[in-house]
């Protein structure tokens, strides 16, 4: 049985805002603390963002590394940070920053779970209403079933 990609310790809620770089750094730091990536992963996220935006729509960004930096990934995991004050993601408004590290091809299945969840505006509104990291974690725990 593979371990869960998301644990309660990898979910945070901030009442304020952040810059895109600060949000990516926090996403990478959470993944690193979880033992999923090395310290080089933040640089990999920045490289990806320079070539293509990881903004997905519906207030969601999914920063992740490049194919060339797969060796910085030790295990599959997610980090979830909600910024109630928002993040300017290259001109797009973002509330949810979900850092993703996928070992091998596992990121594709994880990404599809997140995409399905965030394609529903009612679901996004429900996630915005979660009043504590525990409630947000419960609402997202289905990603562990991937």
Give which of 142, 146, 74 is closest to 110, Cα–Cα: 146
Q: Cβ atoms within 10 A of the Cβ of 107, count?
A: 20
Of 5, 20, 31, 64, the catalytic one is 64
CA–CA distance, 2 with 19 (Å, rounded to integer): 34
- Is 107 catalytic? The answer is no
For Cα atoms 108, 4, 12, give the angle at the middle one, nearest 5 degrees.
90
The residues assigned a catalytic role are: 64
């Amino acid at each position: 049985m593979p371990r869960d990609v998301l644990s309660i310790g990898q979910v945070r809620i901030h009442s304020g805002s952040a810059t895109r770089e600060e949000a990516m750094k926090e996403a990478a730091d959470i993944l690193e603390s979880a033992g999923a990536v090395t310290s080089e992963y933040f640089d990999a996220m920045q490289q990806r963002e320079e070539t293509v935006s990881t903004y997905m729509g519906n207030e969601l960004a999914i920063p992740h590394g490049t194919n060339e930096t797969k060796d910085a990934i030790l295990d599959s995991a997610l980090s979830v940070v909600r910024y109630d004050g928002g993040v300017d993601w290259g001109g797009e408004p973002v509330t949810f920053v979900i850092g993703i590290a996928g070992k091998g091809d596992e990121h594709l299945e994880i990404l599809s779970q997140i995409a399905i969840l965030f394609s529903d505006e009612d679901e996004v509104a429900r996630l915005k209403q979660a009043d504590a990291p525990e409630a947000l974690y419960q609402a997202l725990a289905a990603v562990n079933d991937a």
